[in-house]
């Protein structure tokens, strides 16, 4: 069976928080959830762009300020959610940055590792108590096929201080997304209400590629029509991970086509490295220490 947006169950009464929801995959994810009845919060850095995105959606959609480059902003957003909601059904960790020149977050973290992993790690830890009491609640974290490309967790240089490769740093951050997903699921399994799931969009035609190396940008117009897919297709693995009743904690969803670049969502395998429990647990401890966020599980 080819799972499509039409297979999303009714979401009325559910609250979904989607990070990076003003463009691309996040926009399509939020739009589809809202159209199926969910109350959706667009958790975005640029509130005005978030409002413009919300105006293009139907349903109950609001905007929440969230700057994943700042632990102060992350804590403020979590406080806002605690003031306005008693529970959250879906937390979708979608926001990300890919292949930028060497930059750091406001807290001094390498930008890709800081936003893609540490920012979402901290945000999840600070709002998880809103998900735990809600039966069937899920944390969905968006990874990438790039978690296999020059990817390792460099504990001796997590912030790429000694040397910086935008490709390797992105791969590390996306591998970290998966390791976080799997370790979180082991911790959540003891509670029995909330599950942790991962997804990847394949090769989606979004503006995430704007910082790609020059050679990749040159060939992109040639290969994109052959290998990539529209954002609404790229969002399907995330949507299935978030809404399909058959989903189980610790699963990873991606396109079913060759190489995982395009197609309809199915359960896929991540790299052997991503399942290393020792590294997962070490990364968890390091992430807690770097962010100052302790999880309630």
Q: At what angle do helices 277-291 and 166-188 cross, to 10 degrees?
A: 100
Taking a C-beta distance cutoff of 8 angstroms, is the pair 183, 280 a contact? yes
Task: Return the structure tokens found at 54.
Answer: 């919300």
Residue of 170, 182, 253, 261 with catalytic role: 170
260, 233 Cβ separation under 8 angstroms:
no
Question: How is the beta sheet containing 138-142 ordered, strand by strand?
Answer: 61-65, 39-44, 15-19, 90-93, 138-142, 195-199, 252-255, 265-267
Cβ-contact 128, 295 below 8 angstroms: yes
**CA angle, 231 then 122 then 64, to 5°:** 55
Task: Using CB atoms within 10 Å of the CB of residue 191, give its burial: 0 to 12 exposed, 13 to 18 middle, 19+ buried.
Answer: middle
- Phi/psi class of residue 64: alpha, beta or left (left: φ > 0; alpha: ψ in -120 to 50)? beta
Eight-class DSSP state of 125: H
Class of residue 35 by CB neighbours under 10 A (exposed 0-12, middle 13-18, buried 19+):
middle
Q: Is 170 designated active site?
A: yes
Tokens of 108: 């001094």
How far is the CA of 153 from the CAs of 114, 125, 180, 262, 282, in angstroms? 13, 21, 12, 27, 10
In the structure encoding, which two tokens stand for residue 184, read together?
């979180």
Whole-number Å distance between alpha carbons of 166 and 212 = 9
Catalytic residues: 170
């Amino acid at each position: 069976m080819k799972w499509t947006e039409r297979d999303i169950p009714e979401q009325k009464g559910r609250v979904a928080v989607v990070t990076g929801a003003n463009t691309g995959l996040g926009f399509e994810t939020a739009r589809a959830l809202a159209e199926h009845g969910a109350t959706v919060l667009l958790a975005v850095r640029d509130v005005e762009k978030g409002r413009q995105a919300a105006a293009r959606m139907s349903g109950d959609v609001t905007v929440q300020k969230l700057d994943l480059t700042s632990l102060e902003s992350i804590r403020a957003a979590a406080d806002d959610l605690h003031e306005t909601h008693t529970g959250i059904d879906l937390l979708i960790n979608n926001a990300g940055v890919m292949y930028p020149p060497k930059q750091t977050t406001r807290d001094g973290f390498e930008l890709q590792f800081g936003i893609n992993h540490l920012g979402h790690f901290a945000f999840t830890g600070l709002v998880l108590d809103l998900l735990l009491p809600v039966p069937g609640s899920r944390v969905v974290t968006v990874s990438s096929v790039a978690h296999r490309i020059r990817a390792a967790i460099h504990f001796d240089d997590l912030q790429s201080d000694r040397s910086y490769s935008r490709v390797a740093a992105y791969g590390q951050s996306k591998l970290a997304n998966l390791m976080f997903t799997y370790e979180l699921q082991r911790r959540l399994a003891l509670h029995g209400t909330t599950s942790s799931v991962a997804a990847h969009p394949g090769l989606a035609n979004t503006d995430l590629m704007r910082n790609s190396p020059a050679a990749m940008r040159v060939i992109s117009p040639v290969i994109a029509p052959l290998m990539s897919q529209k954002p609404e297709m790229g969002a399907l693995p995330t949507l299935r991970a978030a809404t399909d009743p058959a989903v189980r904690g610790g699963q990873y969803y991606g396109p079913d086509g060759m190489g995982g670049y395009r197609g309809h969502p199915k359960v896929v395998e991540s790299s052997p490295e991503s399942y290393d429990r020792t590294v997962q647990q070490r990364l968890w401890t390091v992430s807690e220490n770097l962010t100052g966020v302790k999880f309630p599980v």
